Amino acid sequence: MGQDLKAENLTISVPNLGCDKNCPYCVSRMTGYVTNNFPRMLRNCKKVIHVARAAEVTSVLFTGKGEPTLAYRELTSLARLFNFWPLELQTNGIGLAAGDDSLLKGLYDAGFDVIAVSVDTAGQLDACRELFSRIRDAGLLSRITVNITDLLGDVTFPSLLDYCRQTGISQLTLRRIVTPENPKDMKTADWIADNVDDNDYRSLMEQARLYVSEQGKLIRTLNHGVEVYDCGGVSFSYSDYCIQERNRGDNIRSLVFLEDGHLYTSWNSASSILF
Ligand code: SF4
């Protein structure tokens, strides 16, 4: 382990108890699965905190190879151990939308700050309206991550900003859907080849750039070059390559604490294990 290992964040993949959505572009299917070992996760938490502090991470993201809220007990238990950092939960929002407010209250009490909900269709945007106001009422910030495929239809950048303002969403992220190197599931990779047109992502990004040049302002640039803008009260960012495979030197985007209880520097490489 390099002494100068630096990371922007720590990403924790909670035990995988499956997923209640079946995204045809699912990155988990392409990067493969590991065996859950929650006792080992608990055992190694102190070591992970030690390394994450030395690496100067500034936030902790909770996600999963499945839907993290299906492992609600494990999710909130882990959050309590890391909640001296800002915490973000990445979810498909289905369980939170269907469940009562006690789920959101439990996330707040465990220390979460931001609930990031991924959507990929205009219908899901509509279905999530109420959830976003409930997230706000629970004292949490919300982010919407829009996955760009041909499922999305005619959504424009200004219409997404309007949606955020109407529903009280504070952060908007556009996510380019990509295939990792050596995908483990070719059906998913083939779906992406047939249904993801990079021009759709580029077109939305061009609309975003135009908006930013006229009405937005740069808030900050993250270590890996991604910029964050203020677009009339909504923070806008983007993710063009979300699967961390290669890192240059000792400066990495995420430390990855997987559900097998081991700490890695990459999602997609067993050999990136640190301990
Ligand atoms: S919500 Fe996430 S884990 Fe579930 S199918 Fe979609 S991409 Fe895969």
Domain residue limits, the chain = 6-272
Reported pTM: 0.93
pLDDT value at 238 more than 90 = no
CA of residue 17 to ligand 1 center, whole Å = 12
Task: Provide the angle, in degrees to the nearest 10, between the axes of the packed helices 101-110 and 72-82.
Answer: 30
Interval 200-214 mean pLDDT = 93
Closest to 275 in 3D by CA, of 45, 60, 98, 7: 45
Instruction: Locate the ligand 1 atom nearest the alpha carbon of residue 92 and give its number.
Output: 1
Indicate the pLDDT class of residue 246, thresholds 50, 70 and 90.
Answer: very low
E strands, the chain, where? Answer: 6-14, 59-64, 87-91, 112-119, 141-148, 171-176, 217-221, 227-231, 234-239, 251-257, 263-264
Residue 162, SS3?
helix
pLDDT (0 to 100) of residue 245: 46
Homologous superfamily in CATH for domain 6-272: Aldolase class I (3.20.20.70)
Indicate the pLDDT class of residue 240, thresholds 50, 70 and 90.
Answer: confident
CA distance 60 to 114: 11
pLDDT digits (tens, 9 = 90+) for 100-156: 999 999 999 999 999 999 999 999 999 999 999 999 999 999 999 999 999 998 899
Higher pLDDT, 14 or 250: 14
Closest-CA residue, ligand 1 atom 7, reads 26
Residue 145, SS3?
strand
Interval 81-106 mean pLDDT = 97
CA of residue 175 to ligand 1 center, whole Å = 14
